[in-house]
Structures are given as structure tokens and as C-alpha cells.
Structure 1
Amino acid sequence: MFEGLSQKLEGALQSVTGQGRIDEVNVAETMREIRRALLNADVNYQVAKEFTANVKEAATGEDVLTSVTPGEQLTKIMHDELTRVLGGEHEGIEMAETPPTVILVAGLQGSGKTTFCAKLARHFRKEGHAPLLAASDVYRPAAVDQLKTLADQVNAPVYSIEDDGEIVEDAVRVANEAVTEAQNTARDIVIIDTAGRMHIDEAMMQEVEDIKTTVAPNETLFVVDSMTGQDAVNTAKEFNERIDYDGVVLSKLDGDTRGGAALSIRTVVNKPIKFASTGEKLDALTPFYPDRMAQRILGMGDVVSFVERAQEQYDEQEAERLQEKIRSEEFDLQDFYDQLQRIQKMGSIKELMGMIPGVGNKISDLDIDEEAFTHIEAIIQSMTPEERAHPDILNGTRRRRIARGSGNEVRDVNQLVSQFEEMKDMMKTMQKMTSKGQDVDISSLMDKITGGGGGQSRSPR
């Protein structure tokens, strides 16, 4: 996410590194590089100009504080300004005083709008709500079926209207009746998926306006494809002029995103970014926190989000049990398998590593094979409970059997066992360093994880 922009901003800050004072000369040079980096990332020109002007004004003449380098001080100033540009404070969904809360979702075709509706339903279900999806995209072939398929995966019902097996093309009626259905079935949230087009047209705009007038939604969200840069910002502006939406959803942030849309849209339309979609899976949706995004853009990581994701998978009792097994050196392959399952539920490995301070920019060129887990799991599943608990009993005969059962080669089994032993040693080292209050050397740990293979991820296959 934003690796190119992050690297360029980090490079620009090098001009003040090692200097004793932030002055007009080094700030001017740095701001030129930062402005160039922002414009290359397709950030709106006026936004880039205002950003660098504000940073320059805040930085010029500031003495370096004790134990703080000019680079660190300027980074802090940039972080504060980035947070402001991205919206300042996190803004969530405004819930209705009397259920159901009605959320109208609009956007162009191909922006990820329908998928976002299912993701949002999953998000609310995790928070204890009972969402209902309304299939008001009644024109696109198979749009209703797509929504139903996605909704089945998150255990949320879909309201649609059919006549003799044919979809009734009345989007306003679907939305209105869905709200009544939610009231009658004790559903406290209604998410309305509306029709999109390949471009903005009068018919689409009028229909969204009609739905909004009829159901009076508590929230209207506009889904924008982050990969389209300034085109996304222009579209967001036109939509806002017509339907005056309440918030923006950035989709496809895991793709080839330069950052222009995220850094421009709040300033241009003056509406908060409320959610960010960071992958195709239905769990790849996160509430948008401007300060956390600013940290990630500047390569500072996002520890809070990392911890929140971990807390979803680990309770305190489980964490203590795992800690004790590591401490007593009883951590085995079954535990390893269980942790792989939990880690995969947290998101992609590259994204998670990018949340660790000081790691994000170091892994931008790292080729991490997410499918490697599949082969690892297959090998462990082919082992008996005794073999998982005691890998030292894995002789040649057992390893050949495991290789055949998992569809791998014996060398793949050997490599997994070797990696597991290395990981146990690494965990013991981390345990000792943490108990002594020492910092963990992330670079050396990364070398162990990747095998020091010049950016290639080690995996059994």
C-alpha cells in the first residue's frame, strides 16, 4: 500500500538527516522533492501545493529537540499534516436512534461496490448487528445473484423482488420494501446496493437520488476505485454535487495504488473517508483512521491496527498458553499449524509486516508467496498427532509417507522441518531479548524468515 510514495518521501527526508537545524535551505530542497513525490503519486496539484506550504511553514526555523534529529522532527510535522489532509479524526457510521440504520451505497460499475456491501455486512455482523442487504442493482446481468452469493458467505439475507423468476426492475421499490422487511424481521441495519454505470449518466444519478429521497438513509456512502487516481477524485466530486453523500469508501487499496485518490479526496469533496478495502476477501475491510494511514505512508508502521487484528484471533488465555509453550520449549508443529490458521485470518502477510514500524519500506520488493501456507498446511495435515508433537521422530520412511500424502517432495518436508526448528530458535531468542528489555533486530529476523534470499520468500515449494 503506497510503497512507491513511501519510498520517495523517505528519500526526500534524507536531505535534513544529520543536520543540526531545520532551515529555509534544507526545507526548501526537501519540499521540492516531497511535492514531486506527491504529484507523481497523482495527488491533486492544489492539495500537494497546500501540503508542502503548510509543512514548510511549520518546519522552518524549528530547533532540533533533544534526542530528536531534524529528519525525525520533520517526519512528525509531515505526519501531522498528512493526518489533517486525510481527515484528522476517524468518523464512523452514524447509527439510527430507532433501527434499522439505512446505508445507501453508490459508485461506478467496477468500483467494487457490490463486494463492499457484503464486506460491510460482515463487518457489522462481527459487531453483533443483524444486517439485511437490498439488491437495488436491478439492471446489470447477474448483479442480484452476485450479491446473494457474497451474502451467503457472510450469513446475511438479501432482499430482492422477482416475478415469475425474473428480476423486477424497480430499484426504488426494492430499497423501500427492504427497509420494511428489516423492521418486520428485527434486522437493525439495511445496506442498499445500487446500480452503477461505466460512466456517470443522468439515469443513474436520478435513480440514486430517488432512492435517497424515498428511504431517507442515515448514511450514503460513495465507493471509489483507488487505482483510478485523479479520475476517482473527479467522479467523487460529481457524485457529491448530485447526492451529497456522507462518506467515501476507498476500494482496491491493495492494488497498484499510488495514493492520489486517498490524499486528495477529503480536501476536494470535504467528506470523510470511512472505510478502506485492502483485498478481495470479504474480511479485507477496515475502518479508515487518518493518523494510522499517515503513519503507514511515512513508513512508521501501524501497530494499533496490527494489535487489533491480533486481538480478534487471540484472547488473553490463549496468548498466555502460547507464551508458556514457547517459554518451556514445548511449541510443536500442531501449535505452528494453529498459528498459521490464525495469521491467515488476520490478512495478507505482506500487509501485516507493513504494519510493523521500520519494516514497511524494507519489504516493498519482497516476493512473499501467500500460497506457500497451503503447501505447509498440507504437509502438517499429513502427519500423525505424534509426529506433530515430536518432529524429531520423523525418519526417512515417515518423511516419504508425508510427502506422498501431501503431494510434495521429501525435500519439501525436510525444508519445513528445518524451517520450524529455525523458527523455534528465533522465538527463544526473541523471548530472551524481550525478558532482558532488549530491542529485537527486525532486519536479522527478516533474514531468517526469508532465508536472506535477496527478497525471495522461503517456502516448502
Structure 2
Amino acid sequence: MFESLTQRLSGTIERLRGRGRLTESNISEALREVRIALLEADVALPVVQALIQRIKVRAVGQEVLKSLTPGQALIKVVRDELTLVMGASANDLDLNVPAPAVILMAGLQGAGKTTTVAKLARHLKDKRKKKVMVVSADVYRPAAIEQLRTLAQQVDVQFFPSTAEQKPEAIVRAAIDDARKSFADVLIVDTAGRLAIDEAMMAEIKALHAAVDPVETLFVVDSMTGQDAANTAKAFGEALPLTGVVLTKTDGDARGGAALSVRYITGKPIKFIGTGEKVDGLDVFHPDRVASRILDMGDVLSLVEQVESQVDKDKAQKLAEKVAKGRKFDLNDMKDQLEQMQNMGGLGGLMDKLPGIGKIPDNVKAQVTGKEVPRMVAIINSMTTKERRNPALLNGSRRKRIAAGAGMSPADVNKLMKQYQQMEKMMGKLGRGGMKGMMRGMKGMMGGMGGGMPFR
């Protein structure tokens, strides 16, 4: 998300960063470029106008013009205002009510509502240690009920069965009773969607809301619809007392207009952003971190949280102890590191959180296809146990055999071995770095991979 906006804004801001002195005229010129960049990102016009005006007021005041480093001060102003327009700080779900806390999910058809129910259930189960039940009140699409049943099994939460013959209010009331009896902390309700907003749909969901009195009413919207996402959310917000918004399909949205428009237009916070189809693809929305990413400052906090939650700490500790004792880093260790990186979304999933990504040429970023890590793992899997433990055995004929077994060329094996040698050298220097050392190691591994990506 935000790729095009990041490139445009980071270029504009960079030109001002090194200037010893800023004037009203060059600030105005920069803000014209910022305005165009925001409009091209499909940010709603009222949001663009308000944002530019607020930045201008602060930029031509004491805060920037009188600063010792005016370029840096302007960057801070732009970051602060981007953060503010998206909601200032993260908004968590309010579950401080007698169990079960009911969460009602609303949205148009095709926005990814049912998948988001499962993602949210997993998030609450894993991150907030809640006992979760899910139920489908979508009586118009029987496949939605079965889809939710399957997803509930995947994320290991309770599923309350329903049928197309039942009334939505009756389904949810029965689910609440069952949730109480089974001591569930949270009940997430999937509702029917429509292809467009219509009176019948609004009347039905209003009645359902009145019947169940949810603690949270979340509007699920496809971020790829840009400022239309904000307008649709506003229409729902006028019909329902929404408590927040979930933006879905953000991995397919290069512009980011929805994220920058929703809060301002609806007055409702973005609580989560969803990526991909996998059930772990849901993140808490942090406006300050997103603003940093837009300005190409990266999102190191989220990256650290991701590493903390998804890296196998036992494996990392064993590797740290192995390296500390001076034992050789081998290809089995490299395979473990690669698989952990893949669990975090591969190179593509980590790249957008690193500072300076906007400065990398498009043709280089385009080489990161998501296939790099699995293909490297395939090459290592094609080796014998002895070869993995002792990479020095890999002469030309062995490399040729390994390449054939992995369906690749000997050149690919040679490039993997070069990356292995870089990692081995780096691991030797880590000494007793423990978990911090392992994180530096993973960063170094990504740097090593960046030099001429062989796997496309």
C-alpha cells in the first residue's frame, strides 16, 4: 500500500531536506506536489484540502521557517498531519463488557467480510487470549455459512451453526445464548452483504443491530475502491452507530487513498487493515506508523513486533548458542532462517516496512516476486543431509545434480551458495548477540539477497 504516494512524497521531501533555508515560495511549490500526489493516490478532495491547509499553516510559521533544520522540520510537520488525518493513534476494540462481547460486522458484498471475521477471531484468540465464537447471519448466501464454518475450523474457534431458513435476529439471539453457556468471551457476527447500498439492506441491519446491541459495529470495506470506500463507510455510518472500520485488500492497493480518507470523512477510526487471503493477514492500524511508511521512513516498530511474534524463539536461541560456541553455521540453519522469513510474508512482506524502500528503483523492487524464498528452500531440500551439514562438499557435479533436482540452473545454486557464504561470515561475527543478534542476522540476510535477485 502507498507505493506510488511514497515515491512521489519522498522525492519532494528529499529535495527540501538538505536546504539550509526554506522560503514561503519553495514550501508552496513543495505543497503543490504533495497535493497532486495525494489526488493521484485517490485521496478525497476535502481531505487533501484540509491536509494541505494544515501543513501550510504550520510550515510557514515559526515551527519550520525559524528552525535550524527547516527541511527536517517540514518532514515532521507532514508526518504529524498525515498521522492526525488518519486518527492520531491506534484504536483497540472495547471488550470491557459482560461476556459475550458482541461484534457486528457490516459491509458490501465482495469486501472480504467473512474472511475478515475469521481473521479477527484469530487475532482476538492469539493476541488477546479470548475465547471466541463466530456466527453467520447471512441467510441469502448459504455458501457464506459454510465458508465461515471452514474458516472457524482453520483458526480453531467455536462456530455456531445457522441455516438460510432462519431469521437473522433469531440466529444471533440463539448464538448469544450459546456463547453464554459455553463461556465464550466474544461473539463475532457475520452479516449479509449486498452489491450496493439499498434501503432493504439498511433496514435489515438496523433491526439486527437493535436486537443484539453489539459493543462494536465494524464496517468492512475494500481499500482498492479508494475514496469510494470512505463515501460508502459514511453512508453506513449514517444508518448504523459504527465504532470503527476495517480496510481489506490493502496489499493490492498501491495508492492508499482509502486509508487517508476514511477517518476524516466518517469520523470513525480505522481499527484494522487486512492483507491477502491467509487467516493471519490482519494488523492493528497504527496511524503514526503508516505515516512513517508513506514518507519512506519505514515501520521498524511493526517489523520488530512481527519478528517477536512469528520467529521461532527456540530455534533462534539454539542457533544463537551454536554461533556463540563457535560451531559452523550450515545450510540446515540457513533453511530454518529462510522458512521463518517466509512465515513473515517473505521478502515482499518485510520490504515495505524498511526505511528507504521508496528510493529503490521499480525495476529492482519488481524482482521481488514472493517466489525467492521458496525456491531457495527448494534448492537446499535437493541436497543430501551430508551436503547440508558440510557445504564444502558442493563441487561442480553436485551443484549440477542439486539444480536438476530443484528444477533450476547451476547458476541459481551458485548464487544461493554465495548468499550462504555471506550469512556464514556474518553469523561468525555475531558472537553472543542472542535474539538481538538474530534480528541483525535476518536484516543482513535480506541485504545479501537484495544484490541481484536470482529467483523470479
TM-score (norm 1): 0.88
The aligned residue for residue 155 of structure 2 is 154
Partner of 2:437: none
Q: Which moved more, 1:86-95 or 1:152-161?
A: 152-161
- Which shows bigger deviation, 272-281 or 9-18? 9-18
Who is 1:277 aligned against? 274
Q: 1:228 maps to what in 2?
A: 225
Kindly indicate whether the alpha-carbon contact (under 8 Å) linking 1:100 and 1:183 is maintained by their aligned counterparts in 2.
yes
- Residue 385 of structure 1 aligns to which amino acid in structure 2? T
**Deviating runs (4+, > 6 A) in structure 1?**
63-68, 429-433, 442-447
- Conserved 8 A contact 1:387-1:393: yes
**Uncovered stretches (5+) of structure 1, i.e. residues with no partner:** 434-439
Instruction: Report the secondary structure of 1:205's partner residue.
Output: helix
Whether the aligned pair in 2 keeps the contact of 1:6 and 1:361 (CA below 8 Å) is no
The aligned residue for residue 263 of structure 1 is 260
CA distance in 2 between partners of 1:410 and 1:449 (Å): 17
In the other structure, the counterpart of 2:340 is 342
**Structure-2 residue corresponding to 1:322:** 319
Please tell me whether the aligned partners of residues 7 and 358 of structure 2 are also in contact (alpha carbons under 8 angstroms): no
- What is the distance in 2 between the residues matched to 1:71 and 1:323? 42
TM-superposed CA distance for 1:19, in Å, is 2.3
SS at match of 1:254: helix
- Give the secondary-structure state (helix, strand or coil) at the position aligned to 2:156: coil
Distance in 2, matches of 1:66 and 1:423, equals 47
Indicate which of 245, 251, 254 corresponds to 1:254.
Answer: 251
Is residue 116 of structure 1 aligned with residue 116 of structure 2? yes
Alpha-carbon distance, 1:379 to partner: 2.8
Identify the range of structure 1 (141-150 vs 97-106) with the bigger mean alpha-carbon deviation: 141-150
Look up the match of 1:194: 191
What is the count of residue pairs matched by the alignment? Answer: 447
1:458 aligns with 2:441: no
Describe how 1:203-214 pairs up with structure 2 within 5 A.
203-214=200-211
Contact 2:83–2:291 (CA under 8 A) maintained in structure 1: yes
CA distance in 2, matches of 1:422, 1:268: 50
Counterpart of 2:213 in structure 1 is 216
Task: Render the CA deviation track for 1:164-186: whole Å, top value 9, x for unaligned.
Answer: xxx32422222221111111112
CA distance, structure 1, for counterparts of residue 287 and residue 215 of structure 2: 23
Q: Work out whether residues 346 and 373 of structure 2, in 8 Å CA contact, stay in contact via their aligned partners in 1.
A: no
2:360 corresponds to which letter in structure 1?
Answer: K
- Aligned match of 2:389: 389
Contact conserved, 1:296 with 1:360, CA < 8 A, in 2? no
Deviations 1:27-52 (A, max 9, x none): 11111111111111111111111111
What is the aligned-residue RMSD (CA, Å)?
A: 3.0
In the alignment, the residues of structure 1 paired with residue 69 and residue 316 of structure 2 have an alpha-carbon distance, to the nearest angstrom, of 37
- Structure 2 partner of 1:362: 360
- 1:216 offset after TM fit, Å? 0.8
Indicate whether 1:21 and 2:21 are aligned: yes
The percent of aligned pairs where both chains have the same amino acid is 46
The one-letter amino acid paired with 1:191 is: I
Structure 2 gap segments, 5+ residues each: 434-439
Whether the 8 Å CA contact 1:42–1:230 is kept in 2: the answer is yes
Cα distance in 2 for residues equivalent to 1:285 and 1:313? 14
Letter in 1 for 2:149: K
Q: Which residue of 2 aligns with 1:31?
A: 31
**2:454 is aligned with what amino acid?**
R
Is 108-117 or 52-61 further displaced after alignment? 52-61
- Which of 287, 301, 305 is the aligned partner of 2:302? 305
What is the Cα deviation at residue 320 of structure 1? 4.5
| Range moving further from structure 2, 256-265 or 192-201 | 256-265
Matched, 1:48 2:48: yes
Structure 1 residue identity aligned to 2:388: R
Find the counterpart in structure 2 of residue 176 from structure 1: 173
- Residue equivalent to 2:436: none
Aligned equivalents of 1:358 and 1:394: distance in 2? 37
Kept after mapping to 1: 8 A contact 2:339/2:373: no
- What is the alpha-carbon distance in structure 1 between the residues aligned to residue 68 and residue 431 of structure 2? 30
Report the AA paired with residue 161 of structure 1: S
Secondary structure of 1:78 counterpart: helix
**Aligned to 1:356, what secondary structure does the other structure show?**
coil
Once the two structures are overlaid, the 10-residue window that deviates more, 55-64 or 98-107, is: 55-64
Separation (CA, whole Å) in 2 of partners of 1:428 and 1:51: 49
Determine the C-alpha separation between the residues in 2 that align with 1:377 and 1:443. 18
State the AA in 2 paired with 1:276: I
Partners of 2:64 and 2:208 lie apart in 1 by 56
Q: Secondary structure of the residue that 2:360 maps to in structure 1?
A: helix
The letter of the residue matching 1:80 is D
With over 3 angstroms needed to count, the CA separation of the structure-2 counterparts of 1:26 and 1:246, relative to structure 1, is same
Kindly provide the CA deviation profile for residues 184-211 of structure 1, in whole angstroms up to 9, marking residues without a partner as x. Answer: 1122111111110110011211121111
Deviation at 1:118, TM superposition (A): 0.7
What is the CA–CA distance in structure 2 between the aligned matches of 1:443 and 1:95, rounded to whole Å?
37
Tell me which protein shows more helix as a share of its residues: 2
Distance 1:89 1:215, change over 3 A: same
- Mapped contact 2:100–2:187 kept (Cα < 8 A): yes
Structure 1 residue aligned with 2:235: 238
- TM-score (norm. length: structure 2): 0.89
Q: Which range moves more in the overlay, 52-61 or 348-357?
A: 348-357
Residues 45, 381 of structure 1: alpha-carbon distance in 2 compared, 3 angstrom cutoff? same
Moved more, 246-255 or 143-152: 143-152
Q: Give distance in 1, aligned partners of 2:165 and 2:200.
A: 17
Contact 1:22 1:59 survives alignment (8 Å)? no
* 1:289 paired residue number: 286
